[in-house]
A and B are shown apart, each in its own frame.
Chain A
Amino acid sequence: MPKVSMTVNGKRVSADVEGRTLLVQFLREHQRLTGTHVGCDTSQCGACVVHVDGKAIKACTTLALSCEGANVTTIEGLANGTELHPMQAAFREHHGLQCGFCTPGMIMAAIDMVNRLGYDLSEDTIRHELEGNICRCTGYHNIVKAIQAGAAAMGGLKVAAE
């Protein structure tokens, strides 16, 4: 079996994997990072979204081997101990989750949205950008609010840091 190495949440990791091993399997089964979820098998639901080299991708349709040398961030890599990432905090504050299963992918997709589109996101933009993430619990109402607030908070942090 080939060996794959990458950096996951700042830590160098490697494992022997089958060629067909998916990134999500590598994360969940080899690294025991079970925060990244599998909700479908057609790349539609987005429960598996992680960041690879700073971009949101669906880990359920990415081969682990294709991430050789990559820098991967999962939901487990966002908080600093109990200090939450502003997007995580916004999801809690605005009740942007119920069962929690789609949540890691939603948060990872939301941060990517901010990285690409900035801190001032309109409701329409957020709804359109969430095309690849399905939630069955919330009706998206509070997810949209959470992302809007999380984006603004990320902007605030950036301003404060400058």
Chain B
Amino acid sequence: MAGTGIGARVTRKEDFRFITGKGNYTDDINRPGQAHAYFLRSPHAHAKIRKIDTVKAAAMPGVVAIFTGADIEADKVGGLICGWMIHSKDGSPMKAGAHPALAVGKVRYVGDHVAVVIAESLAEARDAAEAIVVDYEPLKPVVDLASATKKGSPVIHDAAPDNQVYDWHLGDEAAVKAAFKKAKHITKIDLVNNRLVPNAMEPRAAIGDYNPGEEAFTLYTTSQNPHVARLVLSAFIGIAPEHKLRVIAPDVGGGFGSKIFIYAEETICVWAAKKVGRPVKWVADRTEEFLAIAHGRDHLTHAEMAIDENGRILGLHVKTRANLGAYLSTFASSVPTYLYVPLLSGQYNIPAIYGEVEAVYTNTAPVDAYRGAGRPEATFVIERLMEVAARELGMDPAAFRKKNFIKSFPHQTPVIMCYDTGDYNASLVKAMEIHDVKGFARRKRESAKAGKLRGLGYSAYIEACGIAPSAAVGSLGAGVGLWESAEVRVNPVGTVEVLTGSHSHGQGHETTFAQLVAGRLGIPIENVAIVHGDTDKVQMGMGTYGSRSGAVGMSAIVKALDKIEAKAKKVASFVLEASEADIDFKDGKFSVKGTDKSIDFASVALQAYVAHKFTGEQLEPGLKEGAFYDPTNFTFPSGVHIAEVEIDPETGVTTIAKWTAVDDFGVIINPMIVEGQVHGGIAQGIGQALLEGAVYDANGQLLTASYMDYAMPRADDLPSFRVDHTTTPCPSNPLGIKGCGEAGAIAAPAAVMNAVTDALGHENIAMPATPQAVWHAAQAGLARAAE
């Protein structure tokens, strides 16, 4: 498609600065007179702090100040919060232990913040931190997720004496029991959803700056949602009131969820800036990121599916134990509950579903949302079950899925969600055709000739994006609303600034949002600037996560543009001396119906500001409108991914031989950007399935704390992907957008593991299916076949 409007492959406006080294990331910013912060972190997973001796360290060269938990307490700095209340089965609220920004009395994971050294240079701060003497009394750590709540386990938080955060459930237990009684076949699986480290390529960073003249703070930070950071730092942590705290999230080098949360480090930078009277800058090194950023996933699940004699699903029972780490991170509680169990219905008509989730503390880094957040875990459960069930029933996995697909919409699942639209069969059929599933048997034979095992796996995923409406999520325990804001400012010369509460950290909003605005107003895309990431410019917003910026953020812009058009029509009616009802707006021109009288958008903008053609009683001057948009429902992107793998049983190496994705994201603004999102998501999903895993030893030491130990997907681990689409427009927002940011990461792990188990001929392997694990599984499979 030519042009720059909706549907066009417009190259990105933001790229010039990134490809020329002119990006402006937090670490690129330096404030006059700034000092550098370095955090002394706990080397123990679990220990009492008897004493911290900073005397020698404080006398080291360049040291400005050293602070510990005692200083935080003395200044009454509030603790970090978890913003989603979950209630257990018995109605009791979740048990949230205190989470001070610097440890008070106790450390609870390796990497926990013990003290901060502020010095003239980072090197001096680091040197001084080494001279701090901490007298620890090591305690037995709780590391193993499966046994964390066993009687006699060490207690991590007094508030949770059995290390259980909550024991939650959703669905109709009795209905599920009845369904299992009627079942002809029951498929059971046990799954590990491995712990991941998000690993955005830009490590977190923060600069706190205090202006004593105005008693005002500025925080530069690597955030996906600067307004939420400001809200939490003000209302809960209490460092500064909102009108005296400006939060700027400039260019941010990837987030994937991990930069949603409000962490100890930025809290300390803001607070310490006032204490020391200088800007305080902190930049994480990669190992700090491994140790202390919020990790993702980490579930143990037992799942059972009841199926009748015709191959139709009757019911689903899922029991999950979720590791939330040592403290509750900002949205940790919501991820294995409301972002997980409501997605277990997948694309299928399942009359009865019951999900139970026990969330526990362990002496490991906090766990929170990571790309997909709950939805990859749910998809992994249902899509592994579908594949295993089909194999047990001797049915073709695609046919088994087709038989159970939801075919009419809206569809109310037994677990909250009301799917608005979709055509699951269309995506599956298209994916199978593109993938040449028919040719798989031949390809498998060819692989076998070469001594290789070939497998094919499906993943028919659904996700729920644009988490909303606010009233609904509020009733489920959310501490915030999940709307979005937009303000459209038309300048007198007809150029436009759009202020959005969404935040772009790789998604390309400066391009896609501008496409929408330019197309709607009929102006060149160069004349549109997208402004985001600064709480002094954008009044309020909820930020970017959960694939919400298109469906929610752009909808807010549409709402503001509606108001701009309405006001501009009024201006045009005065200029053209016609009735407002007779004004048409098309292709950037206002014209009077049935005449050749017209005026272009820029001229109307000028007239709005010079205000010569109307009086103040008739019309307010100016052309600037704002809007808040609260969705009426979640959106439900869906699709089918097909993974084809080839395994070398001699080395255990799994090669992704072929990958096909057919996604239904509703209306697509920029296919180039959407495909990029899909590629990246698939890569992260393949990473989870084959490579990545955060590993703690029995003492709670993180063994995978660098890129030497944690296997990030690299270019030669991955294939090129075949990405295509089907489209059912989303009926609940004005653009018909469903969202695309997380789809790949949600779909991919199940597709890979379904393919790997297909190749191996048995199910006895867990993620990550590393060459070592695959080699063992392949050898076991071969031995079994030989018997």
Interface residues of A (CB under 8 A from B): 18, 20, 28, 33-42, 44-45, 47, 74-76, 78-79, 84, 88, 91-93, 95, 97-104, 107, 123-124, 126-128, 130-131, 133-144
Contact with A along B17-54 (1 / 0, CB 8 A): 11111110101100000000000000000000000000
Contact A78 B20 (CB under 8 A): yes
Give the Cβ gap from B661 to chain A, nearest Cβ, in Å.
11
Chain A positions within 8 Å of B22 at CB level: 35, 76
Chain B positions within 8 Å of A95 at CB level: 11-12, 672-673, 675-676
Contact B680 A42 (CB under 8 A): no
Whether B712 is near chain A, meaning CB under 8 Å from some CB there, is: yes
Whether B235 is near chain A, meaning CB under 8 Å from some CB there, is: no
Give the Cβ gap from A6 to chain B, nearest Cβ, in Å.
18
Chain B positions within 8 Å of A137 at CB level: 201, 254, 506, 676, 680
Chain B positions within 8 Å of A140 at CB level: 679, 683, 714-715, 718
Some 12 contacts from A to B, beta carbons below 8 A apart, are A34-B28, A36-B21, A44-B708, A47-B201, A76-B22, A95-B11, A100-B251, A100-B253, A131-B716, A136-B680, A139-B679, A143-B715
Whether B405 is near chain A, meaning CB under 8 Å from some CB there, is: no
CB nearest neighbor in A for B252: A99
Contact B253 A128 (CB under 8 A): no
Chain B positions within 8 Å of A102 at CB level: 201, 253
CB nearest neighbor in B for A128: B716
Contact B21 A74 (CB under 8 A): yes
Contact B20 A84 (CB under 8 A): yes
Whether B187 is near chain A, meaning CB under 8 Å from some CB there, is: no
Chain A positions within 8 Å of B20 at CB level: 35, 75-76, 78-79, 84, 88
Contact B684 A136 (CB under 8 A): yes
Chain A positions within 8 Å of B673 at CB level: 95
Contact A40 B707 (CB under 8 A): yes
Whether B720 is near chain A, meaning CB under 8 Å from some CB there, is: yes
B-side interface residues, number (CB < 8 Å): 57
Chain A positions within 8 Å of B12 at CB level: 92, 95
Most chain B beta carbons < 10 A, residue from A88, A126, A130, A143: A88
Chain B positions within 8 Å of A99 at CB level: 200-202, 251-254, 505-506
Contact A136 B199 (CB under 8 A): yes
CA distance A33 to B20 in the complex (A): 11
**A97, A107, A144: which contacts B715 (Cβ < 8 A)?**
A144
CA distance A67 to B22 in the complex (A): 24
CB nearest neighbor in A for B683: A139
Contact A127 B123 (CB under 8 A): no
CA distance A20 to B9 in the complex (A): 47
Contact B21 A97 (CB under 8 A): no
CB nearest neighbor in A for B20: A79
CA distance A41 to B23 in the complex (A): 21
**B16, B505, B676: which contacts A142 (Cβ < 8 A)?**
B676
Chain B positions within 8 Å of A100 at CB level: 14-15, 17-19, 23, 251, 253, 506
Chain B positions within 8 Å of A131 at CB level: 714-716
Give the Cβ gap from B236 to chain A, nearest Cβ, in Å.
29
Chain A positions within 8 Å of B681 at CB level: 139
Whether B285 is near chain A, meaning CB under 8 Å from some CB there, is: yes
Give the Cβ gap from A125 to chain B, nearest Cβ, in Å.
10
CB nearest neighbor in A for B290: A40
Chain B positions within 8 Å of A47 at CB level: 201
Contact with A along B219-259 (1 / 0, CB 8 A): 00000000000000000000000000000000111101000
Contact B714 A93 (CB under 8 A): no
Chain B positions within 8 Å of A79 at CB level: 20
Chain B positions within 8 Å of A123 at CB level: 720
Chain A positions within 8 Å of B287 at CB level: 41
Whether B507 is near chain A, meaning CB under 8 Å from some CB there, is: yes
CB nearest neighbor in A for B507: A98
Interface residues of B (CB under 8 A from A): 11-12, 14-23, 25, 27-28, 123, 199-203, 251-254, 256, 283, 285-287, 505-508, 672-673, 675-677, 679-684, 706-708, 712-716, 718, 720-721, 744
CB nearest neighbor in B for A103: B18
Contact B708 A35 (CB under 8 A): no
Contact A45 B715 (CB under 8 A): no
Chain A positions within 8 Å of B683 at CB level: 138-140
CA distance A25 to B602 in the complex (A): 47
CA distance A107 to B21 in the complex (A): 10
CA distance A144 to B680 in the complex (A): 13
Chain A positions within 8 Å of B720 at CB level: 123, 141, 144
**B19, B201, B251: which contacts A107 (Cβ < 8 A)?**
B19
Give the Cβ gap from B283 to chain A, nearest Cβ, in Å.
8
Contact B21 A33 (CB under 8 A): yes
CB nearest neighbor in B for A74: B21
Chain A positions within 8 Å of B744 at CB level: 139
Q: A41-B706, A140-B714 are in contact. List 11 more A-B contacts (CB 8 A).
A: A20-B123, A38-B203, A79-B20, A98-B508, A103-B18, A131-B716, A136-B256, A139-B721, A140-B718, A142-B679, A144-B715
CB nearest neighbor in B for A141: B679
Given A127-B715, A127-B716, CB of A141 within 8 Å of CB of B721: yes
Closest 5 CB pairs of A and B: A35-B21, A101-B253, A100-B18, A139-B683, A99-B506
Contact A92 B201 (CB under 8 A): no
Contact A138 B21 (CB under 8 A): no
CA distance A133 to B712 in the complex (A): 10
CB nearest neighbor in A for B21: A35
Contact A44 B707 (CB under 8 A): yes
CA distance A44 to B684 in the complex (A): 18
CA distance A45 to B253 in the complex (A): 14
**B286, B684, B715: which contacts A42 (Cβ < 8 A)?**
B286
CA distance A140 to B27 in the complex (A): 25
CA distance A88 to B713 in the complex (A): 24
Given A101-B253, A139-B718, CB of A93 within 8 Å of CB of B11: yes
**A39, A42, A139, A143: which contacts B203 (Cβ < 8 A)?**
A39
Give the Cβ gap from A34 to chain B, nearest Cβ, in Å.
4
Chain A positions within 8 Å of B285 at CB level: 38, 40-41
CB nearest neighbor in A for B285: A41
Most chain A beta carbons < 10 A, residue from B16, B23, B672, B712: B23
CB nearest neighbor in A for B677: A98
Contact A101 B21 (CB under 8 A): no
Contact A76 B21 (CB under 8 A): yes
Chain A positions within 8 Å of B507 at CB level: 98
CA distance A124 to B411 in the complex (A): 45
Give the Cβ gap from A131 to chain B, nearest Cβ, in Å.
6
CA distance A50 to B468 in the complex (A): 45
Give the Cβ gap from A141 to chain B, nearest Cβ, in Å.
4
Contact A139 B680 (CB under 8 A): yes
Contact B718 A135 (CB under 8 A): no
CB nearest neighbor in B for A145: B720
CB nearest neighbor in B for A131: B714
CB nearest neighbor in A for B19: A88
CA distance A148 to B427 in the complex (A): 31
Most chain B beta carbons < 10 A, residue from A97, A98, A131: A98
Most chain B beta carbons < 10 A, residue from A20, A37, A144: A37
Chain B positions within 8 Å of A134 at CB level: 201, 707, 712, 714
Chain B positions within 8 Å of A33 at CB level: 21
CA distance A128 to B199 in the complex (A): 21
Give the Cβ gap from B22 to chain A, nearest Cβ, in Å.
7
CB nearest neighbor in A for B673: A95
CA distance A98 to B682 in the complex (A): 15
